[in-house]
Structure 1
C-alpha cells in the first residue's frame, strides 16, 4: 500500500519542480529520467531536446528522418518526437558533409531556433544557405560561424531579419567587406568575436577604419557591446582600431595580435583609459610593459581577471603594484613572463616551483600581497586643510554629486567569465 501511495505521489510532481531538479543533468542523465514515468517524460523533454548536436552524416540523416516522421503523422506520434520542432533552441553542427539541402530542410522544420553553432568547414555548403538562413530563423540570438563562405548579401539579410542577434562569432570566414558592420548595425550585438581572416579581409576592414575613424560602425556603432575578442589581428589594424574604439558598456576584452604583438604600448593605453568598466582583460602573447600595468592599475578599478601570459617585458614591480591596489582582482595569469614564486616572497610559494611552467596569482595569493602591503603602510591620514564654511559646504556638495553620478561604477562586479569566447559557452 505504501508503495502504491508513493508511486501516486511521484506521478503528481509538478513539471516546474522536475525541471529544476534535472536542470544540471547531462544529456544521458536526462534521457534516463525521461523513462521514469509520464510526468518525468514531459518535464525532461524540453531540456533534453533544447540543444541538438549533429556530429556526423548519420546523425543528420536520423534527425531529419525523425522530423519528417513527426510532420507526416496524421495523429499523435511517438511521444519522444512530439513537438520536437518547437523544442529545439540550439543547433550544433559539427558535420563537414552538411549540404544546402540539409540546411534548407532544417530551416523549414525548426522554426524556433535561437542559437546556431557551426565550427567545422563544410565544403558542400554554399553562401546561398547563409543568405537564406536569417529569413527562416528570425529569432536567432547567437550565431557562431567558422570557415563559412559568406557574402555581403548574407550580412544584409542578418541585419534585416535578425533583430534579436546579440552574440556573433566570425572566425576564418570569407566575404567580409568594408560595409559588413554597416549591414549588422540593426542587430543589438553584445558579444563579438572576430578573427583569423585572410590578409584581404583584414585590409578591407582596416581601410574603412582609417577612412572614417570617428564614425566607423565597428568602433562606434555598437554601443551595447559588453564582450569583444580580436583574434590573430594584424598590428596595424589593432593600432587603428583601439585608438578610436568607444564601447561604453565593455566589460570583457580579449586581444590576440599577429607577429608578436604591438610595437609599443601606446596603442592600448588610450583604449584602457576609455573603457574603465572592464572586469576581464586578456592581453596574452604581447609585448606590453609595466607602463600598461600601471595604466590598468590607475584606470580599471573593477578588474577581476587579467591574463598577461607570454609578455616577457613585464616586471615584478608592475605586477606587485597592480595586485596590491586593485580591490576586486581575483586572478592574474603570468605564464612565460619570466616571473616565478620567488618574486613574490609575501605569498610563500614553494621554492621548487617550476619557473618555465604555468604560473598565476589566484585570489588567495593576491590577498596575501594586499595584507602584507597594508601591514607595512602607515595608517595615519594626511592632515585636513583648513576650509571656510562656505568652501567646505561646496566641497561636500560636489563630492555627493560625484558619488551619486558614479554610484553604478562603484558597485562590486558580481561575475566574470574569462573564457566566454569558447564554443561551449555559446551553446548555452
Structure 2
C-alpha cells in the first residue's frame, strides 16, 4: 500500500470513525469520491456537533431540501442523522420538518418549552429508532403528554431534566422498555407523590432522582409489591434539604441488586448505614456527597471496591477501621481541600494514637495559623502519608505525579509531559479506580 488512498474501504472507515472534529471530516470529504462517500454519512451523523447555533435547525432543514433538489446523493442525507440537539429558540414547525426528514435518529435532546401532546405524538410516530430522549428545559404538559412514549419500542433512556410542577403524572412510563431514567425537579420545592409516579418499570437498571423523593418512597411502602424495579443496579438520589429518611431502608430491602449507589444532600442515620451493608449485598461502588456527619461504619461492606466521600464528616473510629469495614479497598486519597486532621492524645482502645479526629474543612486560601491553630504538634497534615497509613492500614496516595499512581489504577490514564497529572486525570482516577477510598471536601 503506497498511500492511504490505496487502503481498503474497511480500513478507511475505521480511521474516519475515529475522527472527532467535524472540520477534519469535512476536509476528508473533499479528498476524492471514495473519501466523500465515507465521510458524508459521518458528517451527518451528528449535524452541527455539540456547539450548535441558535439557527441550527433551520439551516439543517435548508440543507436537506437543497440536497434533495440537486440529487446530491442517492440516499437521503437525513437518513444518516443519528443525534439531534434542538435549541430553545427553535420553532416547532422547524422541529417537525427536520424530524420528518430524519427517520433513523437515535438520540434527541429538546430544549423547547412549548411542547404539547401533538408534538410528542409526532416524535413517537416519526422516530421509530429513538433510543435516548432528553427534555433539557422546563415545560408544562397535560396528563397525557407522555402517553405516546410506549409506542417507541426502541426507547431505552429518558431524561426529564426540568419539571416545573411535580403533580405531572408519569404513569405511562411503566409501559416503556426503559433501562435508564433521570428525573429532575429544576430546583422547585415540590415533592413527587403517588400521583406523579408509576407502578414500576420492570426493565429499568439505572434510576437518577434529583428532587425531594420522600413522598415517592413512602408511596412505595403502600404497594403490594415494593419491588418496582426488579433489575435495578444503579441508583442516585439527590435531595436539596436535610432530614432523616428512614424510608430509604424499605426501598433498599426491595432492590438488593443495586451495585452502584450515590446519596447526596441528606442526613444518613445508623439504620440507613447498616442497610447499605446488610441489604445491598451486591453493592460495589458507594458515593456519599454532602451528607453532613456520617454515622460510624459498624458492618463490613464485603463487595464494595470503590468509596467516595465528598463534603461529609466522618468520625475517627470509621477512619481507623476503614480497612476492616472495606476488605476490598487498599488505597486512600484525601483531596487538597481537606487540610489536616486534628487529634487529641489518646485512648488506649485505639492504641497510643487518637480517640478523636475532626476534619478541618477550610478553603485552600486559609492562613497558616488557621490551619495549625493552638498546637502544631497535635495536628497531622493530610500530606503525612506514613501516619495516615499506620492508622488506616491503607496505602496513602497523594497523586502528585503519574508515577505516584499504582499500575492497577492507571486504566486508560494518559502519560503527560513531565509526568504531570491534570484535573481531568484526577477525575478519571476517581471515576474508574477500584480498591480506592477518595475523600474530598469539594463537590
Residue 187 (structure 1) aligned with residue 182 (structure 2): no
Cα distance, 1:282 vs structure 2: 0.9
Are the counterparts in 2 of residues 152 and 177 from structure 1 also a CA contact under 8 Å? no
Match of 2:152 among 144, 162, 167: 162
Match of 1:45 among 26, 40, 47: 40
Residue 300 (structure 1) aligned with residue 287 (structure 2): no
CA distance in 1, matches of 2:335, 2:168: 54
Q: CA RMSD in A?
A: 3.9
Structure 2 CA distance for partners of 1:61 and 1:281, relative to 1, 3 Å: same
Which of the two has greater helix per residue? 1
Q: Which moved more, 1:278-287 or 1:348-357?
A: 348-357
CA distance in 2, matches of 1:372, 1:219: 46
Residue 356 (structure 1) aligned with residue 361 (structure 2): yes
CA distance in 1, matches of 2:390, 2:234: 25
CA distance in 2, matches of 1:337, 1:371: 16
Q: TM-score, normalised by structure 1?
A: 0.67
Give the number of aligned pairs.
Answer: 338
Structure 2 CA distance for partners of 1:348 and 1:240, relative to 1, 3 Å: closer
Match of 1:63 among 60, 63, 69: 60
Are the counterparts in 2 of residues 98 and 122 from structure 1 also a CA contact under 8 Å? no
Match of 2:203 among 189, 202, 224: 224
Cα distance, 1:298 vs structure 2: 1.9
CA distance in 1, matches of 2:391, 2:153: 46
Match of 1:272 among 245, 249, 252: 252
Cα distance, 1:285 vs structure 2: 0.8
Match of 1:25 among 19, 28, 35: 19
Q: TM-score, normalised by structure 2?
A: 0.65
Structure 1 residues without counterparts, runs of 5 or longer: 210-216, 359-367, 374-415, 419-428
Cα distance, 1:26 vs structure 2: 1.7
CA deviation digits over 1:26-83, x for unaligned, max 9? Answer: 233434444444434333433332223473333223211101111222x4x1x6x964
Secondary structure of 2:41's aligned partner? helix
Structure 2 residues without counterparts, runs of 5 or longer: 324-330, 340-359, 364-388, 395-430, 434-443
Are the counterparts in 1 of residues 143 and 168 from structure 2 also a CA contact under 8 Å? no
Cα distance, 1:153 vs structure 2: 3.6
CA distance in 2, matches of 1:166, 1:283: 24
CA distance in 2, matches of 1:158, 1:25: 34
Cα distance, 1:138 vs structure 2: 2.4
Residue of structure 2 equivalent to 1:196: 185
Secondary structure of 1:254's aligned partner? strand
Secondary structure of 2:133's aligned partner? strand
Structure 2 CA distance for partners of 1:289 and 1:100, relative to 1, 3 Å: same
Cα distance, 1:185 vs structure 2: 3.5
Residue 89 (structure 1) aligned with residue 86 (structure 2): no
CA distance in 2, matches of 1:62, 1:223: 41
Residue of structure 2 equivalent to 1:334: 310
Structure 2 CA distance for partners of 1:372 and 1:165, relative to 1, 3 Å: same
Are the counterparts in 2 of residues 144 and 169 from structure 1 also a CA contact under 8 Å? yes
Are the counterparts in 1 of residues 220 and 251 from structure 2 also a CA contact under 8 Å? no
Structure 2 CA distance for partners of 1:117 and 1:110, relative to 1, 3 Å: same
Are the counterparts in 2 of residues 12 and 39 from structure 1 also a CA contact under 8 Å? no
